[in-house]
Amino acid sequence: MMNGFLDRLFKKKGLDPKSICLIGEVNTGKSTLANRIAVDFTGKESFEVSEIPHETRDIQKLEHVDFQVGKRKLDVTLVDTPGIATAIDFREFMSHGLSEEESMERAKEATTGIVSAIKFLKEIDVALVLMDATKAPFDQVSLTLLGALELQKTKSIIVANKTDLEDAKPDLIRSTFPHLKVVPISALNGDGIDNLYQEIVSVA
């Protein structure tokens, strides 16, 4: 009953429902960007951020975000996903103060989270694929993600994050993927964020 009411409410408001998913390698700034979007459109942070790798181990959602850019209005479900990795070393968690037992459990949870994130890609409208602009693009796990998204014909935007750092090379990412939309940003200080919002509404 409540779901039906909400559906009618948002249709009445004329909002276009879209799911926007942030996905990428570990520590590319997904949760930081998710919080910046949340603050810009809802006024408050909604996602956990941590220096510990794989801190996001479950898919997190923020539903019914009134995402308006210019005259375009979207009813957005914003999705933050666990960081993607090809391997997880439990000893990395121990370096952050966790016991061996806690680290083993964290590694298991992180592995489950990665599988869930990849499966979830089939359910989204737009993928924001975050890449660390300080790293060479052909060394990043995102290559596999981009291939999967192209096969599924999912609309995607590469977000070249961390442009606030001196060694950032967003142009290298852009030249590596000339057939895809690449938007350089700093999720930390907000540089380029308005350009990203414009690209989101243009492809959604």
Domain ranges of the chain: 12-25+40-203
* Rounded percentage of the chain residues whose pLDDT exceeds 70: 80
pLDDT at 1: 46
Alpha-carbon distances of 93 from 27, 99, 106, 127, 186, rounded to whole Å? 14, 8, 8, 28, 26
* pLDDT for position 4: 53
- Asked if 141 and 88 count as a contact pair (C-beta separation under 8 A), the reply is no
Cα Rg, the chain, nearest whole Å: 17
The whole-angstrom separation of Cα 11 and Cα 9 is 6
CA 68, CA 148: separation in Å to the nearest integer? 29
Q: Which residues contact 40 (CB under 8 A, 6 or more apart)?
A: 193, 197
Closest C-alpha among 163, 155, 154 to residue 187:
163
The DSSP bridge pattern shows strands 155-161 and 181-184 to be parallel
In whole angstroms, give the CA distance from residue 181 to residue 158.
6
Confidence check: pLDDT of 87 > 70: no
Q: Compute the distance between CA of residue 72 and CA of residue 92 in angstroms, rounded to an integer.
A: 44
Q: How confident is the model at residue 83 (pLDDT cuts 50, 70, 90)?
A: confident
Query: In this predicted structure, what is the pLDDT of residue 39?
Result: 96
pLDDT at 14: 59
pLDDT of residue 134: 96
pLDDT of residue 50: 54
Residues 15/73, Cβ–Cβ less than 8 Å = yes
Most confident by average pLDDT, 51-60, 83-92, 97-106 = 97-106
Contacts of 202 (CB under 8 A, 6+ apart): none
> Distances from the Cα of 59 to the Cαs of 81, 94, 193, 194, 199, in angstroms?
5, 24, 23, 25, 24
78 close to 90: Cβ distance less than 8 angstroms:
no
Classify domain 12-25+40-203 by CATH number.
3.40.50.300
For the entire predicted model, the pTM comes to: 0.80
Q: What is the pLDDT of residue 129?
A: 95
